[in-house]
Structure 1
Amino acid sequence: MHFSVKTRLLRTLAFCPMFIASAAMAESVALTFEVTSKSEGQVDFVVVAENISLAPLHDVTLQTSDGFNATLEYGDINPGQKISRPTSLYWQPDQEPPSVSWLVEYVDEQGNLQTETH
């Protein structure tokens, strides 16, 4: 089952109090977003990736698919393990924060490249 958080995630992060967390789950990777700071036209946050499968995931990478060019490298993640990566997203201060979706790529136990959309 795929779960998408494209529905205004960045808008939620941009307008929420600091240190709020938001989460999204898919088949193998759960993402948690924790705001660390924000200002007009910018939000800084930590993206926590958790392996919720029963097998190790290799070469885990997150990319934004909406033109923000944010790529986060997580490497290998064992079952139940969480790894954090900080990132920032920017937009024009006089505009509403855009929606963002994340593409998760990893290599499974059989050596197959898998993708999940969050």
Structure 2
Amino acid sequence: MHKLEDLKIWNKAIELSKEVYLLCQNLPQDEKFGLINQLKRSAISIPSNIAEGAGRNSNREFIQFLGIANGSTYELQTQIILCEALNLLSQNQIKNVLELISEVQKMNYVFQQKLKSNI
């Protein structure tokens, strides 16, 4: 088991989730049960799956949950890009979130490789 507060990827994913919540404040209210709900769910899924994996009994299980978290980063990335394509958010508004997503994706890959080498 891993201590969450010590996991850089978990801390970065928490930061990403907070930024997504702030970004959602810029979306129209008629998207409350559409894109806003989906964006928040995808964002929350990332640190949640990292946390669940950290609490598992083996690195194999942890890697599985990191894979799920990684899938959620791609889902979130797609939704953010769609918001821009629909002119709901500007490139300037989404830039920081897309950079955070990319950073979490890279951290996830490296962390999975490290865990695999310890199996």
**Fold-level match, TM-score > 0.5?**
no
TM-score by length of 2: 0.29
Structure number with higher helix proportion: 2
Bigger radius of gyration among the two = 2
TM-score by length of 1: 0.29
Structure number with higher strand proportion: 1
